[in-house]
């Protein structure tokens, strides 16, 4: 199940909502099918520039977003270079200004602590102006509240909010969560999803089959 890479606007005459995959050019940003981004402030096709911040090739860290995610306007993904190293006695990033301080250019990455990839699961909803920090992994089906700042990993099907983001509740009981993790409906073919869509939309997990 895939959508054409050239398909960007899924809704007629709606230029604020896009399928994100078709706009990505950076090989270190990987986005799954049907994941959508809405932006009513800026051009949503500029997601790489406006929403993925401090993401420099020198770090080789990746933003990985699964299928069927919903990303609200202004959500930000902050990468490694936003973090000044805590090993130094100073918060000032001296290695960045290697010319000024006669430092070796090859040590420029010592100005920050490398936190690693940001990994977003499938069917994740990221709310308005939420911030996801480097190294964070968010499980399938999670919900990130408006303007939450996510500093730690979020388990599947967990609703979080606040600064820093904390668990508010689980979306479903453990049995339902386990079934959804096993079924992985987001990996089904288009036709199969369409067939079972009424049950998905109505929360009838027992009517979903592998």
33 pLDDT more than 80: yes
| Across 167-173, average pLDDT | 97
Is 2 a residue whose pLDDT tops 70? no
User: The tokens of 33 are what?
Assistant: 């099918």
Q: Residue range 182-189: average pLDDT?
A: 96
Task: Tell me the backbone φ, ψ of residue 45, rounded to 5 degrees.
Answer: -70, -10
Is pTM beyond 0.75? Reply is yes
Return the closest-CA partner of residue 176 out of 210, 204, 147.
Answer: 204
Rg (CA), the chain: 19
Asked whether the predicted pLDDT for residue 210 surpasses 70, the reply is no
Q: d(Cα 203, Cα 210) in Å, to the nearest integer?
A: 16
Q: Which of 84, 107, 137, 209 is catalytic?
A: 84
- Domains recognised in the chain with CATH numbers: 1-79+115-171 (2.160.10.10), 86-110 (no CATH), 172-210 (no CATH)
Per-residue pLDDT, 97: 94
Mean pLDDT for the stretch of residues 31-50: 97
Is 209 among the residues known to form the active site?
no
Residues 181-197 have a mean pLDDT of 96
């Amino acid at each position: 199940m895939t959508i054409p890479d050239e398909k960007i606007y899924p809704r007629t005459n709606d230029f604020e909502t896009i399928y994100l995959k078709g706009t990505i050019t950076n090989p270190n940003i990987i986005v799954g099918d049907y994941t959508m981004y809405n932006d009513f402030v800026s051009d949503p096709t500029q997601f790489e520039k406006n929403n993925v911040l401090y993401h420099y090739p020198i770090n080789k860290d990746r933003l990985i977003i699964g299928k069927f995610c919903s990303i609200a306007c202004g959500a930000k993904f902050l990468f490694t270079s936003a973090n000044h190293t805590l090993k130094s006695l100073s918060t000032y990033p001296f290695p960045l200004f290697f010319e000024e301080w006669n430092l070796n250019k090859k040590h420029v990455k010592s100005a920050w602590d490398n936190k690693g990839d940001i990994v977003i699961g499938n069917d994740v909803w990221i709310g308005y102006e939420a911030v996801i920090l480097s190294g964070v992994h968010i499980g399938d089906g999670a919900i990130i509240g408006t303007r939450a700042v996510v500093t730690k990993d979020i388990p599947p099907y967990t609703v979080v909010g606040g600064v820093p983001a904390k668990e508010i509740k689980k979306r479903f009981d453990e049995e339902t969560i386990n079934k959804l993790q096993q079924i992985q409906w987001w990996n089904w073919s288009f036709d199969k999803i369409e067939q079972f869509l009424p049950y998905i939309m109505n929360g009838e997990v027992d009517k979903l089959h592998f």
